[in-house]
Amino acid sequence: MGRRGFTVVEIIITVTIMGILLTLAVVNLNSTQVRARDDERRADVEAIASAFENFFQRGTVSTDPGTYPSTTTSDGSNQDILDKVDGEMNIQSLLAPGISDPSIKSFISATNSTQTTEGVSPQPNLTDYVYQPLQADGSLCTSDLQECRKFNIFYQLETDGSIEMITSRSQ
């Protein structure tokens, strides 16, 4: 007479193998999602840098070509930096991965002129990019009355927590 079912040992081995395969799939999916968010961060920062380069090339009504946006306007008000490059990009591209509310600002101004990933203040995190406009002498460009000749944009990667920097073409 032939066997008509599975033994308990066969079922336990099958369930164990399926559990191991499922665990590997979930771990692989999570790391793929993290890498995808980091790729999105890189693409966002490159799009922002490209918009600043266009601003540098064409200027605006109040600024001549050859300068980047400063952190404030000439009257001292803290205007959103990205309003200065309005029309250059979609607002969604300015939001860090995982943030869908456009009222949450993911793009903040640096408060010092230290041009290293360890020294910039404030430090970027997973939801904030830090913009650092600089004058020709390397000091922070805080007003439209100053000539901002270069910039750095800092952002943090999720995979290893490292901080990356993109610089202007004119550096």
pLDDT single digits (tens) 8-67? 999 999 999 999 999 998 888 888 999 999 998 898 889 888 888 888 888 765 666 788
Give domain status of residue 23, yes or no: yes
Q: Domain span at residue 144?
A: 8-167
pLDDT tens by residue, 93-126:
666 777 766 666 677 888 898 999 999 999 999 8
Cα angle 33, 120, 162; round to 5: 30
Give domain status of residue 3, yes or no: no
Give domain status of residue 104, yes or no: yes
Number of domains the chain contains: 1
The DSSP element (H or E) to which 132 belongs, if any, is: strand 129-134
